[in-house]
Structure 1
Amino acid sequence: MTRRNWLLVCLTAIEVSICQLSFADSIWERRAPHAAYLFMDNRARRVGDLLTVMVNESTDASNTEQRKMAKDTAASGKFNFAGKTSGASAGQAAAAALSIDQSADRSFQGSAQYQSNRQLLDGLMVTVVDVLPNGNLVVEGSRRRRVSNETRWLRVTGVVRPNDIMIPNMINSQSIADINIVYEGGGTESRFTNQGWVGRLTNKLWPY
């Protein structure tokens, strides 16, 4: 290879290297727009983001009411009269007695007691459907599960404050405002444990 050819090869290699350096892609431009950020967590903050809700609701109510009333009334009256008249040839005597007694007794006693203890533990993934002007998130989600002809349906809606979302992108149901939890079931087991429609209709129409 002559000196001229060698010089042309070197110049060509230098031009190719300069072109490659000029048009090199940035690693940030190849980043997926929906990928996680290096210095940012994955908590829900936009419409369409997912959030895990841990449902932990318990209801414990106890009410006892007792009432007693009594009324007694008593009245009595007594009247006595006695008279006697005597003379030389005649004599008279009179006696009268009147006694009135009256009494009334009235009493009432009532007692009522109510106690309820329920607990619901579950979890599901909800979706952010709206972002309010103050930054709060409106979430909504449902889950339907069917096992052995028995269906269980859970639905949760509410408003979430971003500061209450924990690091694993999770929030407890007690921290959700305006929460609405619906848990329903139907199937073979429900037909045995729930009251029939005739019994429910009788309970509504029975006046006593």
Structure 2
Amino acid sequence: MIRAVLCGTLALGACGRIAEVGRPPQLTSNAGGPEHFAMAVGPVLPEAADVPVDAASLWTGGPRSLLGDRRAGRRGDILTVVISIDERAEFDNSSARSRSGSEGLSVPDLFGLPQSLEDGLPDGAGLDAAVSLDSSSDFSGDGSIRRKERLTLRVAATVVEVQANGVLRIEGTQEVRVNNEVRVLLVTGFVRPEDVTRQNEITYDKIASARISYGGRGQITDVQQPRYGQQVADILLPF
């Protein structure tokens, strides 16, 4: 039964891949997603909100004015997420331990008892060194980790929810297809409105619970992955 289910699963997966032969990977539709839903049912953007600051002022305080606040702050608003990761980590660790011990016990004279006992011992045996113990142990270990990451991207994200405390939950996706390869970028997290700059931008290090995914799908990505059979064998085989 298990063998039949496994064969059926592999066959379905293979059929899905065969159907994509000779065709470029399709982009994911953004209709019906959280970004589209937030902008579709969100508050209507003001058409004529450029109200003068006071009656005698030539400047207005609306979001479309020169001095207006254009930062995202409501459900459905859009802001730019700036991702600039240039990190390097190096860890080196070494440890060594050594221990040795020696214990000895002999009973050469004890009221003549050792001499009397030696008469009953086998040939070559004696009590000159009744007990003797020696022990030693050595341990050494070395480990090192070196990792370097560099990523520079900009992506537009949508405010999909405003929390009760005013914190904004954002989500942004971006897909770019070049020939037969699709590059996919995903950004989600929580943002404080005061961290959004006047340019309506926010850097990735100010996003709480940030989830940044950068990858792709297509022919190049497919070649870099092991075959289904090899992946199943790696999971099932114990050696």
TM-score (norm 1): 0.62
Cα RMSD, aligned residues only: 3.3
Q: Name which of structure 1's ranges 190-199 and 153-162 shifts more when overlaid on structure 2.
A: 190-199
| Matched residue type, 1:55 | I
Higher Rg: 1
| Matched residue type, 2:47 | A
Partner of residue 146 from structure 1, selected from 166, 177, 187: 177
**Consecutive unaligned residues in structure 1, runs of 5 or more:** 1-30, 82-95
Q: Deviations over 1:132-170 (max 9, x none)?
A: 233322211101112121221111111222221112211
Whose strand fraction is larger, Structure 1's or Structure 2's? 1
Return the alpha-carbon distance in structure 2 between the equivalents of residues 174 and 120 of structure 1. Answer: 13
Classify the secondary structure of the residue corresponding to 2:221: helix
Partner of residue 96 from structure 2, selected from 60, 68, 83: 68
Return the alpha-carbon distance in structure 1 between the equivalents of residues 235 and 89 of structure 2. Answer: 24
> Do 1:66 and 1:112's aligned partners in 2 also have CA atoms closer than 8 Å?
yes
Deviation at 1:61, TM superposition (A): 2.9
Return the alpha-carbon distance in structure 2 between the equivalents of residues 65 and 197 of structure 1. Answer: 38
Pairs within 5 Å for 1:46-195:
46-75=74-103, 103-194=134-225
Q: Which residue of 2 aligns with 1:40?
A: 68
Return the alpha-carbon distance in structure 2 between the equivalents of residues 178 and 152 of structure 1. Answer: 23
Pairs aligned (count): 164
Return the alpha-carbon distance in structure 2 between the equivalents of residues 137 and 70 of structure 1. Answer: 57
TM-score (norm 2): 0.55
Return the alpha-carbon distance in structure 2 between the equivalents of residues 66 and 124 of structure 1. Answer: 42
Return the alpha-carbon distance in structure 1 between the equivalents of residues 133 and 162 of structure 2. Answer: 78
Return the alpha-carbon distance in structure 2 between the equivalents of residues 172 and 162 of structure 1. Answer: 13
| Matched residue type, 2:210 | I
Q: Deviations over 1:50-88 (max 9, x none)?
A: 10110123443333232222222335577889xxxxxxx
Return the alpha-carbon distance in structure 2 between the equivalents of residues 149 and 45 of structure 1. Answer: 38
| Matched residue type, 1:62 | E
Q: 1:143 to 1:107 in 2, by over 3 A?
A: same
Q: 1:158 to 1:186 in 2, by over 3 A?
A: same
Return the alpha-carbon distance in structure 1 between the equivalents of residues 137 and 73 of structure 2. Answer: 69
Q: 1:97 to 1:159 in 2, by over 3 A?
A: closer
Q: 1:36 to 1:108 in 2, by over 3 A?
A: same
